[in-house]
Amino acid sequence: MSATKTLAFILKTQDYRDTSLLGHFYTRDFGKVHGIIKGIRDTRARFGSTLEPFSLNEILFYRRRRGSDLHQVTHVELLDLFTDVRDNLERLSYASYFAELLDQIVELEEPSPEIFDLFKDTLLLMTAGASPKRCARIFEVKLCGILGLLPEIKACVICRAPSPDPAYFSAKHGGIQCKSCSSGAGAVTPVSQGTLSFMDRVIRFDVKDLHNVKVSQEVGGDLEKMMRRFVDFQLTRQLKTVVFLEKMGFN
C-alpha cells in the first residue's frame, strides 16, 4: 500500500461499523473513490474537516490492491466549504443534487479531471450569483457530454434527417426525432428550436461564459424537462435530492 494525496470533493458519507465513516469522494486524480475513515465519527473536528457534501478537501489515502475498492483515508483537510452556496437553501439543495447525481452516474475509479473541474466551476458559478437552475442545466449537459452520453440534437435519431423542425425528444432513443418518426412512437415531447440551440451553446461554451447568455423562461423550462427525462433514464433509481427539489418547488 502506498500513500496518495489528492484533491477531493465529498459526495456523501455514511456510518461504517461502530465508529468509522465510509466516504464517497470525487478526486481530481482517480475519479470516484470509496474510502473508510477510521474512528472519526465522534471526533470529526480533530480531522480538520466536517466532511460536508460538496466541500473541497485535500485527502491522504492508502490505495488497496486490486480486488478491494475500499481504501483507507487517514487525513482530510478542508480547503473550501462553498459557504455562499451553503447559506441559501435553494443553492444548497442544487449543489447537493450535483453531488448525488455525480455519485450515481460515474463508475468507480475512472479518472476524469474534466469532471472534477466541471463540479468546481459549477459551484463557483453559483457562488458568483448565477441562478441555481442555470447551473443545474450546465452541469447536467456538460457532465453527459464528458461521459459520452449526450442526446443527439442535430438530426433525427431514427431516419437521420438533419435539424428536424418541429422536433420531438425521446429519452429512450437518446435524442430528437422528426415529426413522421415520432407519430405513434409513444413517449416523446415537443422541443423548441430555441431549446436545442441553447443546449448546443452549453455544450460548446466554457462554464464561466454561460453566466450571462440570455435564456427565456420557456427555453429554461423546456431544457429542464428534457434533461430530467434523459438523466432519469440513465439512472437506476430516482435521486433523493430531485424529490426534495420538487417538494420545495425549486425546480
Residues that bind Zn ion (CB under 5 A): 156, 158-159, 161, 178, 181
Dihedrals φ, ψ of 57, to 5°? Answer: -135, 160
- Shortest gap between Cβ of 201 and Zn ion (angstroms)? 24
- Shortest gap between Cβ of 158 and Zn ion (angstroms)? 5
Judged by beta carbon, residue 172 or residue 208, the one nearer Zn ion is 172
- Shortest gap between Cβ of 179 and Zn ion (angstroms)? 8
Q: How far is CA 197 from the centre of its chain?
A: 22
Residue 68: count other Cβ atoms within 10 Å of its Cβ.
9
Judged by beta carbon, residue 183 or residue 238, the one nearer Zn ion is 183
- Shortest gap between Cβ of 118 and Zn ion (angstroms)? 32
Residue 21: count other Cβ atoms within 10 Å of its Cβ.
21
Judged by beta carbon, residue 48 or residue 190, the one nearer Zn ion is 190
Contact (CB, 8 A) for 39 and 11: no
Instruction: Return the sign of the alpha-carbon dihedral for residues 102, 103, 108, 113.
Output: positive
Q: Is the peptide bond before 53 cis (omega within 30 degrees of 0)?
A: no
Judged by beta carbon, residue 61 or residue 168, the one nearer Zn ion is 168
- Shortest gap between Cβ of 72 and Zn ion (angstroms)? 53
d(CA 54, CA 75): 17
Contact (CB, 8 A) for 207 and 125: yes
- Shortest gap between Cβ of 204 and Zn ion (angstroms)? 25
DSSP annotation of 156: -
Judged by beta carbon, residue 134 or residue 173, the one nearer Zn ion is 173
Judged by beta carbon, residue 102 or residue 156, the one nearer Zn ion is 156
d(CA 70, CA 66): 10
